[in-house]
Amino acid sequence: MTQTSENVTWLTQEAYDQLKAELEHLSGPARAEITEKIAAAREEGDLKENAGYHAAKEEQGKQELRVRQLTQLLQTAKVGEAPAATGVVAPGMVVTIAFDGDPDDTLSFLLASREYASSDIETYSPQSPLGTGVNGKKVGTEAEYELPNGKTATVKILDAKPYTG
């Protein structure tokens, strides 16, 4: 999981290894594949109306952006342990909240970097309005955060436990 403090991103060893493997793939085999696609599309002729060429160039741009993001993230990463179950909300934890204190209107989510977003559980960044509001708060307390319309919402923190995957 991640925990951002200033320009440092805390990662578990497993997360660091996973992101490093993705970077190595994108910098090596994936980069070679996209170069071949562009070269093949170039051979087809007129580049102005060559959809395959433009699609490959767009894919290359997205891939290079991801390489830069991963490089920056890993350069500032510090490897550490997942958070302990202390009853205080921190990145790397599954947080359960109740909206307006209503125990029937709850949400559980992973407080982590978008690098950990998965289909298993909804993920909120520690820098998001909700993430900023609950981060560092104790279970049983209330937290406020700003809604997109500028109003403030209050949630009660019901649980916070380390994410186990």
Selected residue with higher pLDDT from 129 and 125: 129
- 112, 154: one domain: yes
User: In this structure, is residue 15 part of a structural domain?
Assistant: yes
Residue 151 included in any domain: yes
Domain of residue 9: give its range: 3-79
Indicate if 18 and 51 belong to the same structural domain: yes
Degrees (nearest 5) of the Cα angle 16, 62, 124? 50
**d(Cα 97, Cα 83) in Å, to the nearest integer?**
19
What pLDDT is recorded for position 157? 93
* 99 and 74 in a common domain: no
Q: Flag whether the pTM goes above 0.85.
A: no
Q: What is the pLDDT of residues 81-126, one digit of tens each?
A: 656 677 888 887 889 999 876 778 889 988 877 666 555 778 888 8
Q: Are residues 99 and 146 in the same domain?
A: yes
**pLDDT for position 4:** 44
Bigger pLDDT: 10 vs 143: 143
Instruction: Say how far apart CA 36 and CA 162 lie, in whole Å.
Output: 43
d(C-alpha 83, C-alpha 76), whole Å: 19
Give yes or no for residue 127 having a pLDDT over 60.
Answer: yes
The span from the CA of 30 to the CA of 35, in Å, is 9
Whether residue 68 sits in one domain with residue 100: no
Has residue 5 got a pLDDT over 70? no
Q: Is 94 left (phi over 0), alpha (psi -120 to 50) or beta?
A: beta
61 and 111 share one domain: no
Per-residue CA distances from 56 to 37, 40, 139 (Å)? 6, 10, 49
Q: Which of 79, 112, 141 is the last residue of a domain?
A: 79
Say how far apart CA 4 and CA 11 lie, in whole Å.
Answer: 9
Per-residue pLDDT tens over the stretch 11-47: 667 778 888 999 999 999 999 999 998 888 888 877 7
What per-residue confidence (pLDDT) applies to 90?
83
Model confidence at 6, pLDDT cuts 50, 70, 90, reads very low
Which pLDDT tens digit goes with each residue over 41-67? 888 877 777 888 888 899 999 999 999
Last residue of a domain, which of 35, 57, 79?
79
Q: Which residue has tokens 């970077």?
A: 23
Residue 87 maps to a domain: no
The CATH number for 64's domain is 1.10.287.180
Strands 8-11 and 77-79: what pairing?
A: parallel
Q: Total structural domains in the chain?
A: 2
